[in-house]
Structure 1
Amino acid sequence: MPRLNVTGHTAAITGAAAGMGAAVARQLAQQGAHLALIDRDADALAAVASELRALAPTSTVTTHVVDLVDDDAVAHACADIIDKHTTLQALITCAGSSMLGSIDQLTMAEMRWLMDVNLWGTVNITQGLLPALRASPHAHITHLASIYALAAPGGRIPYAMSKFAVRGFSEALRHELADSTVSVGTIYPAGVKTGIILHGRYAAALDPAIADRAAAAQARMYDTEPDVAASIIVNATIRRRARTMIGRKAYLVDALVRLLPVNHWSFMRAPLRKATDTTTPVQ
């Protein structure tokens, strides 16, 4: 399978206003790629775009402010991207959020919201840009899943559901496009220092102090710098890899689940106890 040459070709990136999306965009800009930056935060997106235009003055950088769960807005954004960029070679979906709470604390509306953001937002933009990707001689779609798409911990039901679904969508799409010029890959980060868990949502029924404690405990487990993770994501996209782990813990969990498909939680429970505890009162 031919590798991608990103120089002079366009990559579309969701969640590009901050975190992994912004880090990936910076690395692609440094390699001379044109960029279609997608996010719902207009001000932060404009700031990143300004930075990238200064970093790579020969690259075309466009911004597309859109909520990925809004079908009409996504359709308009896709048309805008296709209009402003001659060719689209890569799509990297970094947009997403988190949700803390146990099944007894969460409402259906809260769980549906996260599924809309993490899964349907990914499906929406992928479907909308697929015709443009198919028009490229070689193209690749990179979806960010999670270590929690390998093993699902308690206390993270909506997040694990959404990321397992992203994994299933990515794998099915990869098989569906196997005879085309478009390849599909999934990324499984173990924990990147982006602050997603600290800025995510939690169940309305959950005590904010307990949510803060659980989020902080989860954040302390993150040990991969965003630039390191972005480099792995960009490299996986260029090489058109189907499956990529980020961080030693991702490899360990992947091996553990394969070895103990039913009982792996008995080994994961203790390390994740504080991060998944959404019921014990804060003293």
Structure 2
Amino acid sequence: MQIKDCVAVLTGAGSGIGRALAVALARSGCHLALVDLNPDSLAETATQARALGARVSEHPTDVSDRSAVAALPSAVVAEHGSVDLLINNAGVALGGTFDQVSEENFDWLMSINFDAVVTLCRAFLPLLRQRPEARIVNISSLFGLITPAGQTAYCASKFAVRGFSNALRLELTNTNVGVTVVHPGGVATAIATSARSPDSESDAEKQRKLARANRLLRMPPPKAAQIILRGIERNKPRVIVGNDARILSWLERLMPVNYWRLLPGLADSDA
């Protein structure tokens, strides 16, 4: 896919992988409709992208709000005229076993990590179909490939993104719209710091889990963004980001039930 002069809608653009992707896309000549819940961090990302010559619009939006998402396509078209690329990057984390996680928190995570992906695809697919070449990029996770204890909700959402993306790709075969699903490993973002935890956990336990999770988050976001961008340009159906994700994905294929016996350090992780 030729990125130069494309228009990309990018959610979760205010920080982490989203901000790094915005900068990488802008550097490649892509114009941006940036979406994030936090208007201040969104504005900072937009400033960085504009400094690289991109035409940028800012759309402070709660992606779990279906009416707000439904209004996005017309707002983006008013600014840019068309859409070539949709990158569903917005996501949140939630630690705790299934018994510990409240129904409210479980639904909150699913509404952002999975439901919003579906809603955004539904909203923008008609615009993407109008372009000569277009692509949907859905960010799953390493935890859309493997299933650590203590991550029931997060794994459910990221496996759902994976399954939805793979099926949608097949449905769009022989059309102008491709689908890429991305599985980042340990990227150094603030997702663990901002994750919700069960109310029953002590502060000491929360800090212990946070420290362990952060030890696993090592890849700089700009490096992750470059890997994802190369995958988009090459029309790859799946992008694995990081050696940790690559190794663990192969291990899961070889030992789909018993691989956790070799990975006790990852059990109950909040990454």
- Structure 1 length-normalised TM: 0.92
Shift of 1:215: 1.8
- Counterpart in the other structure of 2:177: 182
- Counterpart in the other structure of 1:99: 94
1:108 and 1:88 map into 2 onto residues whose CA distance is 36
The aligned amino acid for 1:272 is L
Structure 2 residue 238 is matched with structure 1 residue 251: no
What is the aligned residue count? 270
1:195 and 1:40 map into 2 onto residues whose CA distance is 15
1:116 and 1:274 map into 2 onto residues whose CA distance is 23
Shift of 1:221: 1.1
Match of 1:28 among 25, 30, 39: 25
1:215 and 1:116 map into 2 onto residues whose CA distance is 23
Shift of 1:210: 1.0
Structure 2 residue 174 is matched with structure 1 residue 208: no
Shift of 1:274: 6.7
1:103 and 1:17 map into 2 onto residues whose CA distance is 30
Partner-residue secondary structure (3-state), 2:51:
helix
2:216 and 2:234 map into 1 onto residues whose CA distance is 29
Match of 1:77 among 69, 72, 75: 72
Shift of 1:179: 2.1
Q: What do the CA deviations read for 1:37-80 (whole angstroms, capped 9, x no partner)? A: 01111111112112221221xx2100111101111100112221
What pairs up with 1:201-240 in 2 under 5 angstroms?
Answer: 201-240=196-235
Structure 2 residue 131 is matched with structure 1 residue 136: yes
Unaligned runs of 5+ in 2: none
- Counterpart in the other structure of 1:281: none
Match of 1:167 among 154, 162, 169: 162
Structure 2 residue 119 is matched with structure 1 residue 124: yes
The answer on whether the counterparts of 2:8 and 2:30 sit within 8 Å (CA) in structure 1 is yes
Query: Identity over the aligned pairs, expressed in percent?
Result: 36
The aligned amino acid for 1:215 is L
1:274 and 1:179 map into 2 onto residues whose CA distance is 42
Q: CA RMSD in A?
A: 1.3
Unaligned runs of 5+ in 1: 277-283
The aligned amino acid for 1:130 is L
2:242 and 2:58 map into 1 onto residues whose CA distance is 30
2:2 and 2:76 map into 1 onto residues whose CA distance is 20
Match of 2:266 among 263, 266, 272: 272
Shift of 1:118: 0.3
Q: What do the CA deviations read for 1:230-272 (whole angstroms, capped 9, x no partner)? A: 001111111111011111111111111111111112112x121
- Counterpart in the other structure of 1:146: 141
Match of 2:42 among 28, 41, 45: 45
The aligned amino acid for 2:266 is L
Partner-residue secondary structure (3-state), 1:234:
helix
The answer on whether the counterparts of 1:25 and 1:35 sit within 8 Å (CA) in structure 2 is yes
